[in-house]
Each structure stands twice: as C-alpha cells, then as structure tokens.
Amino acid sequence: MQVVKGTVIGGKVILDRGSLPEGAEVGVFVTNEERSVRLSPVLQRELEAALDEADKEEGISAEELFAELRKYG
C-alpha cells in the first residue's frame, strides 16, 4: 500500500507525482482545508503520543487488512 496525493481537475484525480498501474484499486480520502480541528494543548499531546505509539507497532499489509475486512461483509 502506498499513499499518494493529487488534485481533482476536470473530474479526474491528477497525482502530484508519479503514476499508478492501470487497474490499480484506490481509495480516496477528501480533505477539506477550509475546516480545521483545533485541539487543546493536552489533547494535542495525547494525539501525538498515540501517533508515536502507532508508528512503533508492527502492522499488517494492505492485502491482509482487506482480507480481514472481507470476512465482515
């Protein structure tokens, strides 16, 4: 799994760099930069600590994740 960023132009996603192979399955997460979340300093520290902890965890591949999710529907 890889994360790539792009912009919608003319109804199509144009990647900022590189390309994906023809037929690649993709998921799209739409960000809305006009809306932001403001956290208190305490919550910001908690979020950063949780992200640091998640980075230390050994994960599974995207294929394994999707296989697990298919079991539920």
pLDDT, tens digit, for every residue of 47-71? Answer: 999 888 888 878 888 888 899 999 9
Phi/psi for 47 (5° steps) reads -65, -45
Checking if the pLDDT of 33 tops 70, the result is no
How far is it, in rounded angstroms, from Cα 30 to Cα 65? 21
d(CA 44, CA 20): 34
What is the pLDDT, as a whole number, of residue 44?
92
- Residue with tokens 């956290």, as numbered in its chain: 39
Sign of the alpha-carbon torsion through 43, 49, 55, 61: negative
For residue 54 the two structure tokens come to: 């998640």
Q: Hey, where are the domains in the chain? A: 39-73
